[in-house]
Structure 1
Amino acid sequence: MRQPRAILITGASSGIGRALALAYAAPGIHLSLLGRSEARLAEVAAAAEAQGASISAAQVDVRDREAMSAWIAAADATKPFDLVIANAGITSGLADGVIAEEPEAVRALLATNLFGVLNTIEPLIAPMCARGQGQIAVIGSLAGLRGLPFSPAYSASKAAVHAYAESLRGRLERRGVLVSLVVAGFVKTPLNDSISAVKPFEVSDARAAEIIKNGLTQGRAVIAFPAALYLATRLARSLPPRFVDWLFTRFSVNVPETKERVKP
Structure 2
Amino acid sequence: MSRTVVITGASSGIGRALALNYAGKDTTLGLLGRDVARLDAIAQACRERGATVETAAIDGRDADATTAWLQAFDSRHPVDLLIANAGILSGIEPQSRTEPVAAALRVVDVNLKGTMIAVAALIDRMQARRRGHLALISSLAGLAPQPDLPSYSASKAALVSYGTALRIRLRSRGIAISVVCPGYVETPMADQQRSAKPFSWPADKAADYIRRRLDRRSRLIAFPWQLVFGIRLLALLPVTLQDWILSGFRADVAPSESAQRQDSDSSS
TM-score (structure 2 length as normaliser): 0.93
Q: Which position in structure 2 is the counterpart of 1:161?
A: 159
Secondary structure of the residue aligned to 2:156 is helix
Match for 2:130 among 118, 132, 146? 132
Give yes or no for the alignment of 1:182 onto 2:180: yes
Give yes or no for the alignment of 1:144 onto 2:142: yes
Q: Which position in structure 2 is the counterpart of 1:58?
A: 56
Please give the per-residue CA displacement for 1:195-244, whole angstroms capped at 9, x wherever unaligned.
Answer: 11111110000000000000000111111110110121122223222222
Distance 2:154 2:56 in 1: 29
Distance 2:122 2:116 in 1: 10
* Kept after mapping to 1: 8 A contact 2:93/2:99: no
Distance 1:252 1:212 in 2: 27
Indicate the percent of aligned positions where both proteins have the same amino acid: 42
Distance 1:65 1:4 in 2: 29
Aligned pairs for 1:90-105 within 5 A = 90-95=88-93, 98-105=96-103
Q: Which position in structure 1 is the counterpart of 2:169?
A: 171
Would you say how many aligned residue pairs link Structure 1 and Structure 2?
261
Give yes or no for the alignment of 1:204 onto 2:202: yes
Cα drift, residue 38 of structure 1: 0.2
**Residues 256 and 109 (structure 1 numbering): CA distance in 2 closer, same or farther, change over 3 Å?**
same
- Using CA pairs under 8 Å that are at least 6 residues apart, name the structure with larger relative contact order, 1 or 2: 1
**Residues 163 and 64 (structure 1 numbering): CA distance in 2 closer, same or farther, change over 3 Å?**
same
Distance 1:98 1:235 in 2: 32
Secondary structure of the residue aligned to 1:224 is strand
Distance 1:128 1:251 in 2: 40
Distance 2:196 2:144 in 1: 18
Distance 2:248 2:208 in 1: 33
Distance 1:180 1:252 in 2: 29
Match for 2:193 among 195, 212, 218? 195
* Kept after mapping to 2: 8 A contact 1:15/1:189: yes
Secondary structure of the residue aligned to 1:174 is coil
* Kept after mapping to 2: 8 A contact 1:83/1:136: yes
RMSD across aligned positions (CA): 1.6
Runs of 4+ in 1 over 4 A off after TM superposition: 260-263
User: What letter is aligned with 1:32?
Assistant: G
* Kept after mapping to 2: 8 A contact 1:19/1:209: yes
* Kept after mapping to 1: 8 A contact 2:66/2:117: yes
TM-score (structure 1 length as normaliser): 0.95
User: What letter is aligned with 1:146?
Assistant: A
Secondary structure of the residue aligned to 2:248 is coil
Secondary structure of the residue aligned to 1:175 is coil
Match for 1:70 among 68, 71, 75? 68
User: What letter is aligned with 2:147?
Assistant: P
* Kept after mapping to 2: 8 A contact 1:101/1:257: no
Q: Which position in structure 1 is the counterpart of 2:114?
A: 116
Please give the per-residue CA displacement for 1:151-190, whole angstroms capped at 9, x wherever unaligned.
Answer: 0000000000110000000111210010001010000001
